[in-house]
Chain A
Amino acid sequence: MNQIFDPIELDEIVKSQSTDPSAVISVLQTIQEKYRYIPREVFRPLSLKMGISEARIYSVVTFYENFSLDPKGHFVIKICDGTACHVRKSMPNLERLRKELDLPEGKVTKDDLSFSVETVSCLGACGLAPVLTVNDKVYPAMTPDKVSDLVAKLKEELANETH
């Protein structure tokens, strides 16, 4: 499921980036794009390459909600719970999603790293409310039933991929 960590690949990512310490956020974003989280193993090479301490990188990663130190699922589903989505009933969508995926509240990622579910404060697509994204693909005007259909489709996709 693409979660096996490849140090050579990481090295390539680090090498391709700017070594300017002020670029650390964009470097981390690139890493997160690749792995969907910030693997612990990147800290040392990144620190050496950019000339900033591992403690400082940890500081940046833990400051921004957007960075994750925990591995994320193959599909990362973000449910918008901004004001517009909330009043247009985003919460029932979330409840249905958790039920379909058997994810209790407080747990973000399935143990088999298939799905991650998180809420975000605003995706900036209020006109499409209630909205959710799957790996950055936008699904507008969602309802609980549409959520069930989507999950079924994604599960199928996943099954096809692993075969």
Chain B
Amino acid sequence: MTIDGQTVEIENERNVLELIRKAGIVLPTFCYHSELSIHGGCRMCIVEDDRGSLIPSCSEEPRNGMIIHTNTRRVRRYRRNILELLLANHSRDCTICFNSGNCRLQELARSFNISSIRFMNTAHSPHMDHSSKCISKDPNRCILCGDCVRICNEVQNVGAIDFAHRGSDMHISTPFGVPLAESVCVGCGQCAAVCPTGAIIVKNDINKVWRALDNQETFVTVQVAPAVRVALGQEFGLGDGENSIGYIVAALHRLGFDKVFDTSTSADLTVIEESREFVQRLQSWHDMPLFTSCCPAWINYVEKHYPEIMPHVSTCRSPMQMFASVLADEYRKVPGKRHVHVAIMPCTAKKFEAARDEFVTDGQPNVDFVLTTQELVQMIRQSGILWEDLEPEGVDNPFSVYTGAAVIFGVTGGVTEAVLRELADDHGPTALKKLAFVGVRGQDGLKETKITVGGKELSIAVVSGLGNASALIEDLKSGVRKYHFVEVMACPGGCVCGAGQPVVPLSHRAARGKGLYSADLLTSIKRSEDNPLMATLYDGLLKGRNHDLLHVHYPGHKGHHNHAA
């Protein structure tokens, strides 16, 4: 077919839009995402064919001999008109919008040089929804592209929101308009990541952290999750997936944090605890397969959608909470300044996890505040610290050592690989390296592998994306699949693609996983158990208390006693 005079070969493109992109032309879109179903709602991608018909290219199948014009006077005029109509009912207070500068509507309005809107704003300004700990929903900024609806339904299989009512009354809503916090929303934040405007945004807790840092009476510690280091740098001109942990630590020190730690350290604890729990469950064969428990959106998903699965979920706290328990024990039991703990996470659901009753000790949450990677970017910018002038620094004692097994926790398959390193019969470097090739790495939504440990063949599955998790649970129930161990991360691709990370196209996110594997190569110790700090902790602070401090019984676990020592 012909696009703007160029002949383009039709291969397997699902629509004319993809072909146009192949021809080197990027049409503006709001509602089109290659990983989601085709909606055809925003109409921005209209093109003209040789008969003068205007067609939305996303909803048109490519046919032999088609002649398409993407940039005629008529198309430009219509596209501009459509954009103006989209802007008509949009709250245009860009300067106070969290997504300002990161908004496709703003970007297009600028590139179309729109300086006035001819149409009246007839929006009904329904109420904002601030009920969720993770995200806020502002219907005044919504352009009804439906991206959030489709990612929630199709990718995450959560189905918390959908279009409601019709015509000028249409808006995105939970059933009966209940607040998000009371809906089946799990807080994964993927809707916010995909929203082209600022209609769904991640909750911002920066000011609370500034207050804690300003307060002379507080001792503020911070932990940084593995996935943060391979995404934050993108905002400061580093390449996709480049590891910036040294700069992050330096920036956090400059911001005034008293001690900076790396969540990788406590991920080593998680590997050890989870491996032990797995071996014990394997021996006594109760509640198998074992599901991982690091991902808070996954925990929410189990509680709200598959409560019957909860006994299968490991009782291990997430690495963030394991660290928080240890730090609370270290710093809150001694007289002195009030200890405040902050966690920098790639994740929106961690904000919910931090507030859970299970993780509150003596009225104070073990993690006082969770900031996303994007919020840390904002803090650095607010402070005026020049990224280029930072000198990389290391994390602080006494919790400074971590292994390669822990660093890869942030990518799908990483937790599994870390546990396999722990359980492997052969601890030699070659054998450990080989584990990279057993099928746990890569961006696929479902990865399966079999590995022999202690003469027993184990079936393992790694899923990312809650839709994939739900399909797997259904298969387990019907007996189609059988596993011993299942790793689940709610966000497709794992934590590196979390909704708290800077938003970049899907194709750029794969590099983040690679960045973590490179970070693993840089570490000297590959197995969590070989981390010398672990021995110190188990003989000291954790002695006889590892169960109390490192495990958790969610309400769904009740009635099932735990076998992990």
A contact set with B: CB distance below 8 Å: 40, 43, 47, 52-59, 62-63, 69
Residues 157-200 of chain B: 1 if any A CB is under 8 Å from the residue's CB, otherwise 0?
A: 01111111110000001111000000110000000000000000
| B153 CB–A CB distance under 8 Å | yes
Query: 30 pairs across A/B with beta carbons < 8 Å?
Result: A40-B176, A43-B175, A47-B159, A53-B158, A53-B159, A53-B160, A53-B162, A54-B159, A54-B175, A54-B184, A55-B149, A55-B159, A55-B160, A55-B161, A55-B162, A55-B175, A55-B183, A56-B159, A56-B162, A58-B162, A58-B164, A58-B175, A58-B176, A59-B162, A59-B163, A59-B164, A62-B166, A63-B165, A63-B166, A69-B176
Contact (Cβ within 8 A) A57 B166:
no
Contacts of A56 in B (CB 8 A): 153, 159, 162
CB-based nearest B residue for A52: B159
Contacts of B183 in A (CB 8 A): 55
Interface centre among A47, A54, A55, A59 (most CB of B within 10 A): A55
B contact set with A: CB distance below 8 Å: 149, 153, 158-166, 173-176, 183-184
CB-based nearest B residue for A55: B162
Contacts of B158 in A (CB 8 A): 53
Bound-state Cα–Cα, A11 to B161, Å: 25
Contact (Cβ within 8 A) A62 B165:
yes
Which of B153, B166, B173, B184 contacts A58, CB < 8 Å? B173
Contacts of B162 in A (CB 8 A): 53, 55-56, 58-59
Bound-state Cα–Cα, A36 to B158, Å: 30
CB distance from A79 to the nearest CB of B (A): 23
The secondary structure that dominates the A interface is: helix
Contacts of B164 in A (CB 8 A): 55, 58-59, 62
Contacts of A53 in B (CB 8 A): 153, 158-160, 162, 184
Bound-state Cα–Cα, A57 to B174, Å: 10
CB distance from A67 to the nearest CB of B (A): 12
Bound-state Cα–Cα, A105 to B150, Å: 39
CB-based nearest B residue for A57: B175
Contacts of A43 in B (CB 8 A): 175
8 additional contacts (CB under 8 A) given A53-B159, A55-B160: A53-B160, A53-B162, A55-B175, A55-B183, A56-B159, A58-B162, A58-B173, A59-B163
CB distance from A49 to the nearest CB of B (A): 14
Bound-state Cα–Cα, A57 to B163, Å: 10
Contacts of B153 in A (CB 8 A): 53, 56
CB distance from A46 to the nearest CB of B (A): 11
Bound-state Cα–Cα, A43 to B174, Å: 12
Which 9 A-B residue pairs are closest in the complex by CB-CB distance? A53-B159, A55-B162, A58-B175, A59-B162, A54-B175, A62-B165, A62-B164, A63-B166, A56-B162
Bound-state Cα–Cα, A56 to B164, Å: 8
Contacts of B159 in A (CB 8 A): 47, 52-56
CB-based nearest A residue for B185: A55
Contacts of B184 in A (CB 8 A): 53-54
Bound-state Cα–Cα, A62 to B163, Å: 9
Contacts of B174 in A (CB 8 A): 55, 58
Contacts of A52 in B (CB 8 A): 159
Bound-state Cα–Cα, A55 to B162, Å: 5
CB-based nearest B residue for A63: B166
Contacts of A47 in B (CB 8 A): 159
Bound-state Cα–Cα, A27 to B481, Å: 32
CB distance from A144 to the nearest CB of B (A): 33
Contacts of A69 in B (CB 8 A): 176
CB-based nearest A residue for B158: A53
Interface centre among B158, B160, B166, B176 (most CB of A within 10 A): B176
Bound-state Cα–Cα, A67 to B163, Å: 16
CB-based nearest A residue for B474: A51
Contacts of B165 in A (CB 8 A): 62-63
CB-based nearest B residue for A47: B159
CB distance from A28 to the nearest CB of B (A): 14
CB-based nearest B residue for A56: B162
CB-based nearest B residue for A64: B166
CB-based nearest B residue for A58: B175
Bound-state Cα–Cα, A151 to B144, Å: 45
Interface centre among A40, A52, A63 (most CB of B within 10 A): A63
